[in-house]
Amino acid sequence: MPNWLKDAVFYEIYPQSFNDTNSDGIGDLQGIIDKLDYVKSLGCNAIWLNPCFDSPFKDAGYDVRDYKKVAPRYGTNDDLVKLFDEAHKRGMKILLDLIPGHTSEEHEWFKKSCEIERNEYSDRYVWTNGAFCGIGGHPYIGGEADRDGCYMLNFFKSQPALNYGFLNRTEDWQKAPDDPACIETREAMKDIMRFWLDKGCDGFRVDMADSLVKEDDENKSATGKIWKNVREMLDKDYPEAAIVAEWCDPGQALLHGFHADFYLDHWGNGYNTLIRDYETEGGDHSFIKKDSGGDIMRFLNDYLPRYERTKDKGFISFITCNHDTPRPARTLSNEELKLAYAMILTLPGVPFIYYGDEIGMRYLDVRTKEGGYHRTGSRTPMQWDNSESRGFSSASKDKFYLPVDSSSDAPTVEAQEKDPSSLLNEVRRLTALKHEQKDLQADASFEVIYAEKEKFPFVYRRGNLVIAINPSGKECSANISAKANVAGNPVYTIGTASCDSGKLTIAPQSFAVFG
C-alpha cells in the first residue's frame, strides 16, 4: 500500500475544460501546469487527470486511439512528463485515467483485428465466428469489417471491447480468461501502465474496472484475477504507485488488488442519499439538504457494511462529484455545500474534489459534446475570474470547448479568494484540518457515536476526534456521554456547537470537530 494515500486529497481535472494556454478554446497540459500552485493551495496533494491520450473524442477521450501518445490538443508526451515533474516538485502526485476494457474503433489494434488474414491482433477484441452470428445480451456491430464476424461493444458504437475472455462460455468463439490471447490483452495493458509509470506517473484511476471478463460470476473473480496480477507487478516494481477503481463495490475491488474504490452516485445507495436524493417522488430528501426530511440511517445502513468489510484492506473514496455526475450545486446552497464537503473530508478513506466544486460551480443546461449527453452540464470550463471568458481562454467564445457560465453571479476563484467566508476558503480550511490531524487520515478509526432514524445530529468519532453535523434548520442536541468524553471548545466549526457534561448542542446548519 503506497503510504502517501493515507494523507491524500485528490483534485479531479477534466483537461479540456480546465485552462487553455494556446487560445484554441480547449484546455491543455500547460494550462494544468500553470495552475498547480492553485491546486496545491486548495490542500489537494494529488490529481486525477481525466483521459489525455490520443483519441477521436467520440466519448471525450474514453475512446483511446493510442495509449502511449498524448492527444495533440492537450500537448505532447514531453508536456505530460513536465506535468509529472512539476507536480512532484510541489509534493503532489498524478494519476492518469486508464481505460482497459475497450479502445477506439480507430486504434491500430482494432484495424488489424478487422483484417481477414489472421494476425497477432485477431483475438485482441471479442469477435464472433460469423458476420451473421450476433452476441446475445451484449451490444455488437456486424457488417462493418471485411472479417467474417461481429464484434462486441463495451459501451458506445465507437468502443469495441477488448478480449479478456468469458468465464462462463456458451459459444465456441468465446475464449477462456486464461487463453493465450486473453493473457496477451492483459499484458498489453500492463505494458501501457509501465510506459507511463516509467515516465513519472504515480498510478491510475481505472475506468469500468469490473467489466473486463465477460459472463463473470457475481464476485467478478475472473476480472479480479487480472487485477491481482497487475497488483503483483506494482508491488514488485512500482510499490509507490496507486490504482483506484471505478467499481463501486469496495468489497470486491479492494479484495482484488485495488488500493481504493469510488463510492459512486448510484440511485438509492448511501452516497446518493447524502446529497443527490432528488430523483424520488416527494421532493429532495438528501441528508445535507436543509429541512428535507433526510435520514442519516439510509446512508449508514449502506455504508457501514462496506466500511466494516474493507477497513483493513484499502480505502473507500468519496467524491464531491465527477465528470459523470451532476454537480452538487445543482440543488445545494453554498452553506449546504460547506457541510457536504466537511463530511466528505472527515469520513474515512481518500476523498476526491471535482474541479470547480470548491467554488460551487453549477450544473449547466448545455448541448451534448463528445458523447457527454446529460453529463455535459458538469464538464463546462473552470471559472477563474470575473471576465466574460471566466479566465478559461483568450479564444473567441464560439471556439470554447463548452460555454462558460455567463450568469452575473457565476462563482469564480477571483471573487471567492477575496471573501474569507467563501466556499473556496472553507474548503481550504477543511483540507488544512485534514492534513493537520492524523486522526483524519484515510485509515484512522471510525465509530458512530450518535445516529437515529430521521433525527439530528449525526455524531461520529475519528481516532480521538469527535465530529458532529446538523444540516437541519433547527438547533438540536444529543447525549453522547456513554460513548465520548468531550471537553472544551471545538477545534473546528462551521456555525456553532458546544458540549457540556456529555450533552452536545449544535446550531442549525452547523458542523464541529471536538478534540
Q: What is the DSSP string of 94-121?
A: EEEEE--SB--TTSHHHHHHTSSS--TT
User: How far is it, in rounded angstroms, from Cα 229 to Cα 175?
Assistant: 19
Q: Which residues of the chain have pLDDT under 50?
A: none
Separation between Cα atoms, residue 433 and residue 428, nearest integer Å: 9
Instruction: Check residue 282 and give its pLDDT.
Output: 78
User: Which domains can be identified in the chain, with CATH numbers?
Assistant: 3-101+182-438 (3.20.20.80), 102-163 (3.90.400.10), 445-514 (2.60.40.1180)
Confidence (pLDDT) at 281: 75
pLDDT at 333: 98
Chain centroid offset of residue 186 CA: 23
Please state, in angstroms and as integers, the Cα–Cα distance from residue 21 to each residue in 69, 90, 366, following that order. Answer: 20, 21, 24
Q: What is the pLDDT of residue 469?
A: 98
d(CA 317, CA 339): 18
- The residue ranges of DSSP E strands in 4-81, in sequence order, are 10-13, 46-49, 53-54, 66-70
User: Is there a contact between 341 and 427 (Cβ–Cβ < 8 Å)?
Assistant: yes
Q: What pLDDT digit, counting tens, does each position of 89-142 carry? A: 999 999 999 999 999 999 999 999 999 999 999 999 999 999 999 999 999 999
Q: What Rg, from alpha-carbon coordinates, does the chain have?
A: 24
Distance between CA atoms of residues 259 and 91, nearest Å: 20
Q: Which of 334, 256, 336 is nearest to 509 (CA)?
A: 336
Q: How many CA atoms lie within 13 A of 131 on its CB side?
A: 8
Per-residue pLDDT tens for 187-238? 999 999 999 999 999 999 999 999 999 999 999 999 999 999 999 999 999 9
Q: What is the C-alpha separation between 116 and 199, in angstroms, rounded?
A: 37
One-character DSSP codes across 430-476: HHHHHHH-GGGSTTS-EEEEE--TT-S-EEEEETTEEEEEE-SSS-E
Alpha helices (H) along 202-244: 221-237
Residue 488 has a pLDDT of 78
User: Measuring CA to CA, how many Å separate 384 from each of 17, 71, 99, 139?
Assistant: 11, 24, 30, 41
Alpha-carbon span 375 to 356, nearest angstrom: 15
| Amino acid at site 360 | G
Helix (H, G, I), strand (E, B) or coil at 66: strand
DSSP of 124-156, one letter per residue? SB-B-SSTT---TTS-EE-SSSSSSS-EEBSSS
Q: What percentage of residues in the chain have a pLDDT greater than 70?
A: 100
Give the pLDDT score at 318: 98
